[in-house]
Amino acid sequence: MQSEYIYPDLADRSSPKEWEEQGKPVLVNEATAKVAAILAQGDNEVLDAEIDARLRARFGLLLD
């Protein structure tokens, strides 16, 4: 049986030795930078308008 694995973009698959050689990078810093970049893009309508409207109605989301 063959398995496939999907790793997040921010996953660090380095060995402990490689991680140390890279200066022990902290993934939180990379994640924070990625969040800032996504938020800087503004409203890019990730969800379909109908799904967005249904989620806002169901959960009382006021994001505008």
Domain membership of residue 8 (yes or no) is no
Q: What is the pLDDT of residues 18-56, one digit of tens each?
A: 989 999 888 888 889 988 888 888 776 778 889 988 988
CB 10 within 8 A of CB 30: yes
Split into its structural domains, the chain has a count of 1
Flag whether 43 is in a domain.
yes
**Considering the domain boundaries, does residue 51 fall inside one?**
yes
- Whether the model clears a pTM of 0.75, i.e. scores above it, the answer is no
Please count the residues of the chain: 64
Domain that holds residue 35: 26-64
Residue type, 34: K
**Exposed / middle / buried, residue 52 (Cβ in 10 Å: 0-12, 13-18, 19+):** middle
Asked whether residue 11 is domain-assigned, the answer is: no
The sign one gets for the Cα dihedral 56, 61, 63, 64 is positive
